[in-house]
Structure 1
């Protein structure tokens, strides 16, 4: 009647007690955590490879099954920001710079990834950002995203910290493995 019954509804495991699922997940997490800790402290390559491979396997499973969520997240992150700090950052690009003597058609514009998509259009308008920065900033809000991508990343990161931490753990284990192997190879002579 509580959280565990909700877990049964989500997983669809009606013949299995939800407590068993929670225990299995706990055992796997403990095993990986313990192996990673001991592998790092004892500089045990075998344990570090075990942790690295299992984290990578879990990451692959995470990508395979909720692929639509990942693609939506990437699409939304790319299309809800413009420039690092804002649309004015495109002045550093010679093609979009307003002050340059460039005869580029993109002068004083932004890339189409900065444009707010029109749901009525079936084809992406790749020229929607042309000359947008010649207009006043008050007119930008309904045509392009004015939030910088650094701010979008700062908002995205806390919501996806577990994914980032998992990727960091994989790279940390792989780096430690290569460092240990390099030290062992240099001491072999």
Structure 2
């Protein structure tokens, strides 16, 4: 009994754990605020904030959503972790742990389902790319994202250049008045190492004249890239998972310390 009394009287919050958790989360808090700010600024530049109904009018995927969602989650988690650690608030620390644990569980579940239903995921990726091919000219951020993907993976369309027939500006119908008829975006063009300036008109009429463009689809190229970089991708996901587990352990450790201190304060010998 005397040993238990001595332990309670000597209970204290670990400053190392407390301020390490605070520093660990303030980085994510600031990054989350930056991501959120970038997303809101991008929406303001496109006039979305002044006309909120346009959010649902986007024909394809708006890349700004990534900044909004990721930034919002990081901001909330960082806030809960920072204030919870600094103020030794067990409610915020438990919220941080549960929220982070839920994200970890969702990531793990998503990874397992993606492996089990990889054919379905491939079909959804094909649908996703084709759907955004249709909306290529509707959103500048989406346009830049598609151009980056096609240039990085040396691909064109979901399965090939003819997928650009889905876009009203690039389709080959005789009634299409667009100058880009039967063409592809410049990001589909095979780059000439001798050219210092990007030729944004290199995709004009390419499917009529047979110019040099990427003929492989982005779905297949992405799969190939994933297989070639499997160790790196897996390492990144494992690293993120370990960071999440580490954060949960720190928060739970701090909660235990705070409870022990409160118990020692209420203890009467």
TM range (shorter): 0.3 to 0.5
Q: If each structure's helix is expressed as a fraction of its own residues, which one has the higher value?
A: 2
Larger of the two Rg values belongs to structure: 2
